[in-house]
């Protein structure tokens, strides 16, 4: 089968690899029909994720058709269309029982990280019964790919951890796919204001279309000053960091109102300063999280009922044999206007 393989920092190649085989009774083999690229894949290629070793097939998102199941799999059978969760959960360990699937003792974020992933024609999915979701008849596969990771991540790590509430004021720093996913799902809670901050004016136009009440281009203006002016000097109730660099994290620290919540979503490859000298008395909360995908069933229902149009995040489409072009488009989004790219296997 064809698969995209990580060969070390800055290196990847589309190679021929053996089709995966069942490794445990709880496994399933899935024929991938559509997958995508995540910002975390770019972090792997930069060398920011040492747990991903050279030789690994990349990718942790996608939809496909069950090709084979292990004898202990009871929920699925060959031929069924399924959504693949980016998180593999055994369902019984101490962390899974606390709904912290991302910290599953034998699972978690392993696809495309510690085991071979989904940017291939086939993938082995551990713990199939608790890591796959049956796709309803007539569902849009491209929209459902967004439920593998980007929408649960924006919702759980940003909106839920950020404690967005009706009538609250929210700032989302970073209008990439994760930030936009947080924007779309924050509207479940009817905040009074959602302020989107980015350096890309085109992405801010998209954010306005997606429901942002205000946008700030931090490349051409002082984002801190603009947010404080818009909030009458008070700051925001929730600041969602969706980039993963020191400057954006520090901006989120500075714009918080007393009692506010800073929800970190971005993947940080370098240290960030925590300014306790100015935060120690402000009753603020800082949260971190790796997505647990506990919200996937709910998000699946909202997409099915058309309450959430997940397909709006898809901008580009490629065949698997053009996956290098897909990576170029995704990595140079400022030039290509890419958000999420769909790769058809």
Q: How far apart are CA 98 and CA 79, in angstroms?
A: 32
Mean pLDDT across the chain: 96
The Cα-based distances of 302 to 156, 159, 188, 310 in angstroms read 15, 16, 10, 9
- 103 with 200, same domain: the answer is no
Q: How far apart are CA 316 and CA 322, in angstroms?
A: 12
Q: Decide if pLDDT at 95 tops 90.
A: yes
- Residue ranges making up the domain that contains 108: 2-149+292-344
- 122 with 215, same domain: the answer is no
Mean pLDDT of 94-113: 98
Q: How many independent structural domains does the chain possess? A: 2
- 281 with 303, same domain: the answer is no
- 271 with 245, same domain: the answer is yes
- 199 with 251, same domain: the answer is yes
Confidence of residue 79 (pLDDT cuts 50, 70, 90): very high
SS3 98: coil
Give 221-244 pLDDT, tens digit per residue: 899 999 999 999 999 999 999 999
pLDDT at 306: 87
All residues at 6 or more sequence positions from 149 whose CB lies less than 8 Å from its CB, including other chains: 38, 60, 61, 86, 291
In 3-state terms, the chain is what percent helix, strand and coil (to 5)?
30, 25, 40
Other residues' Cβ atoms within 10 Å of the Cβ of residue 277? 6
- 205 with 336, same domain: the answer is no
Sheet holding 285-287, edge to edge: 214-217, 193-198, 169-173, 236-241, 256-264, 285-287
Give the start-end residues of each E strand in the chain. 2-8, 11-16, 28-36, 62-69, 81-84, 122-125, 132-134, 169-173, 193-198, 214-217, 236-241, 256-264, 285-287, 314-319, 340-344
The pTM assigned to this predicted structure is 0.95
Helices 201-210, 177-186: crossing angle, 10 deg rounding: 20
- 283 with 307, same domain: the answer is no
- 45 with 65, same domain: the answer is yes
- 141 with 234, same domain: the answer is no
Structure tokens at 266: 């971005």
- 213 with 262, same domain: the answer is yes
């Amino acid at each position: 089968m064809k698969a995209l393989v990580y060969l070390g920092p800055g290196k990847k190649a589309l190679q021929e690899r053996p089709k995966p085989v069942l490794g445990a009774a709880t496994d399933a083999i899935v024929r991938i029909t559509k997958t995508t690229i995540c910002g975390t894949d770019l972090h792997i290629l930069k060398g920011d994720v040492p747990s991903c070793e050279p030789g690994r097939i990349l990718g942790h998102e996608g939809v496909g058709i069950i090709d084979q199941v292990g004898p202990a799999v009871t929920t699925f059978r060959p031929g069924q269309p399924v959504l693949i969760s980016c998180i593999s959960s055994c369902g019984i360990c101490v962390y899974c029982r606390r709904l912290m699937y991302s910290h599953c003792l034998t699972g978690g974020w392993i696809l495309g990280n510690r085991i071979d992933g989904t940017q291939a024609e086939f993938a082995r999915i551990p713990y199939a019964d608790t890591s796959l979701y049956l796709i309803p008849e007539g569902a849009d596969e491209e929209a459902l790919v967004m439920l593998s990771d980007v929408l649960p991540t924006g919702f759980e790590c940003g909106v839920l951890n950020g404690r967005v509430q009706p009538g609250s004021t929210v700032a989302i720093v970073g209008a990439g796919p994760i930030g936009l996913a947080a924007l779309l799902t924050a509207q479940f809670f009817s905040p009074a204001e959602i302020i989107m901050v980015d350096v890309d004016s085109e992405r801010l136009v998209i954010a306005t279309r997606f429901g942002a009440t205000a946008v700030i281009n931090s490349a051409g203006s002082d984002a801190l000053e603009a947010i404080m002016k818009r909030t009458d000097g008070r700051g925001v109730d929730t600041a969602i960091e969706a980039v993963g660099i020191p400057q954006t994290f520090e901006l989120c620290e500075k714009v918080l109102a007393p009692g506010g919540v800073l929800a970190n979503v971005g993947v940080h490859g370098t240290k960030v300063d925590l300014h306790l000298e100015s935060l120690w008395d402000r009753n603020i909360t800082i949260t971190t999280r790796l997505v647990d995908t506990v919200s996937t069933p709910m998000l699946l229902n909202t997409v099915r009922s058309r309450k959430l149009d997940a397909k709006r995040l898809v901008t580009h489409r490629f065949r698997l044999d053009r996956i290098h072009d897909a990576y170029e488009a995704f990595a140079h989004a400022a030039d290509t206007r890419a958000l999420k790219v769909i790769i058809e296997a």
